[in-house]
Structure 1
Amino acid sequence: MTYPTDLLAELADIDPASELASARATRDAATRHAQGSHDVLFGQDDDDFPLSERIALAAKVAEWHGQPALHSHYAHHAQPVSASPRSEAAQAFAHLLTFEPVAATPDAIGRLREAGWSERGVVTLAQLVAFVSFQSRLLAGLRLLQGNNADGRAPEVTAGRWHTAPQTAEGKTAPVRFTREELGWEPWLAAKPLAAFSTDEQATLARFGHTDSDYFRLLGRNLPLLEQRTLTDKGIFYTTGGLPRAERELAATVASKVNGCIYCASVHARKAGQLSKNETAIENLLNVQPGASLSQHQSPRWAAVIALAASLSVTPPAPTQKQVSDLRAEGLETLDLLDLIQSAAFFAWANRLMLTLGEPFERG
């Protein structure tokens, strides 16, 4: 089966001569590896998660995200999938990841395993739903920059709820508030032992610094997909020019506040504070309670950054042209806006994996 070499450009109808096309060429690594992640997900066909099941579920997730062009793309390639305990468990898990990943518990994975899903299949399933969540937000953002979204008054996006249980499933002390402290993370599905990877696979893990991480060795159960995801991450966050790195990290923190991901926020709030030298503003963001405005006590520029990142992070995403206009008034250009959109969109992917495959714990 063949796919477009740049699916999002096709679905967003990006003019090759536009500033947006130029910005995406500047961010070539992010563009290529976002497509590469798609190609791996929908190029594999194995008993753990057959291709027909993947495409059918991707169409459903895109529909839930209110992205008709993306839904049509997957629906065009989809074939009927027979109802079964396996497919019903997968759809229930996908619905949870799409709409309320913070509500996930180890039982959600247990139900998949009882329905016949292998460990590798569970990881690939979580990756697929999280990837289409990223893809949907990136498409919404690209269409926004193309001027294809109807303008409107976006409701103010507020902080989501987060876990407040004092202990993890394994009995460790769990964080019950957002923090910039370094946290640990325990998986609810066994990470793949390092010795079970081939020599070449171990070299791939080592190249990205993933060898000693339970999280990455868990995702390493589908290593080709993890590799493309990691390269997408690096292409979005570790590039020069465009939006300052601190504000890309701010966008990641905002998405994590919307989704209730304490672990991701701890990493990226710490980086945003260090790079911006504005730790008070970061603490203000972390301290926002569920249902309260995320942009309170922020500068006009950061309030505008937070507004767009937050509107991209809800399901379905709801960014507006006014938010883009507000950011342009603060001096952001097309490349800056692309960086912001990609940073927020990527954490729709990252948060969903962190929240549904395990949970954080306090170190020390």
Structure 2
Amino acid sequence: MSRYDVIDELVGVPLELRKRRPITKEQAQKSFDALFSNVKDGDFSLKDRFAIATFVSRLHNFDSAIKFYEDELKKFQPDWAKVILEAANSAKSTGPFGDYPDGPLVKENTTGKTWHAEAEVKNSLGEKLAAALTHSHLLVFHPRDCEASHLEALKKAGWSNDEIVTLSQLVAFLSFQLRLALGLKTLAAKKEAN
């Protein structure tokens, strides 16, 4: 089992609670490793992955995750950090939003902010990565509203089917990882206060 654990790093302290579920802990780290380690040179580069992770961390407003992913991004592309910060600040919202199909959950339909990368983001990061940030915002805040036209927008920007699957896996993993780490950090703070 790997000794390094990103979730523990984001929380700031290893919690005894996580030791009770060693397989779950190991699998979460393996998911991180699969998405961020041993990435072969290709169209969906490691720097693009860290750019998306920095953006998603900022959408979640989780300081230790922002620092972690932004530091990794700066190793590859330091000038992107400011662009990602400004894009995320303009994209911040609450949620999730969206509409359910007709049925009992319709009463839970909510509307909220949608965000699209502006020309400055596209000029700085490229059309392909800008489209990924727009899609990431959709997955974080409007998961119920995803439809085929959103995938077509990614394809038009240069994303292959395999890359779209990996992008979706990346954002889903980050949402899981960040929410888990935020919850554990809250538990650790409560425990320390008692």
Q: Please confirm whether the aligned pair reaches a TM-score higher than 0.5, indicating the same fold.
A: yes
Contact 1:42 1:54 in 2 (8 A): yes
Q: In the TM superposition, what whole-angstrom CA distance separates every residue of 1:38-84 from its partner, at most 9, and x where no partner exists?
A: 11101113323110000011011011011110111000010245422
Q: Please list every run of 5 or more consecutive structure 1 residues that lacks an aligned counterpart in the other structure.
A: 150-320, 322-364
Query: Match for residue 5 of structure 2?
Result: 6
Q: Calculate the aligned-residue CA RMSD, in Å.
A: 2.1
Letter aligned with residue 135 of structure 2: F
Q: Are residues 1:146 and 2:188 paired?
A: yes
**Structure 2 residues without counterparts, runs of 5 or longer:** 81-123
Q: 2:140 matched to 1:98?
A: yes
Cα distance, 1:104 vs. partner?
1.0
Provide the C-alpha distance between the structure 2 equivalents of 1:30 and 1:145, rounded to a whole number of angstroms. Answer: 18
* Residue in structure 1 matched with residue 151 of structure 2 by the alignment: 109
Aligned 8 A contact 1:90 1:125 in 2: yes
* Residues 243-266 of structure 1: per-residue CA shift (max 9 Å, x gap): xxxxxxxxxxxxxxxxxxxxxxxx
- Matched residue SS, 2:159: coil
Partner residue, 2:72: 77
Question: Greater helix percent: which structure?
Answer: 2
Out of 30, 35, 39, the residue aligned to residue 36 of structure 1 is 30
Compare CA radii of gyration and give the structure with the larger one. Answer: 1
- Could you list the per-position Cα deviations for residues 134-157 of structure 1 after superposition, in whole angstroms to 9, with x for gaps in the alignment? 0111011111211269xxxxxxxx
How far off is 1:11 after superposition?
2.1
Provide the C-alpha distance between the structure 2 equivalents of 1:131 and 1:52, rounded to a whole number of angstroms. Answer: 17
- Residue in structure 1 matched with residue 168 of structure 2 by the alignment: 126
- For the residue of structure 2 that corresponds to 1:108, the secondary structure is helix
Give the secondary structure class of the aligned counterpart of 1:146: helix
From the superposition, tell whether residues 45 and 68 of structure 1 become closer, same or farther in structure 2 (CA, over 3 Å): farther
Q: Provide the rounded CA distance (Å) in 1 between the counterparts of 2:10 and 2:66.
A: 10
**Paired-residue identity, %:** 36
Structure 1 residues 116-169: Cα deviation after superposition (integer angstroms, max 9, x where no partner):
1011110111111111110111011111211269xxxxxxxxxxxxxxxxxxxx
- After superposition, where does 1:296-311 map in structure 2 within 5 Å? none
Report the number of matched residues: 143
CA distance in 2, matches of 1:4, 1:92: 35
How many angstroms apart in 2 are the aligned matches of 1:131 and 1:32?
14
- Equivalent residue letter for 2:35: L
For the residue of structure 2 that corresponds to 1:49, the secondary structure is coil
Give the TM-score taking structure 1 as reference length: 0.37
Deviating runs (4+, > 3 A) in structure 1? none
Other structure's SS at 2:125 match: coil
Instruction: Give the alignment's TM-score, normalised by structure 2.
Output: 0.68
Which structure has the higher relative contact order (CA within 8 Å, separation 6+)?
A: 1
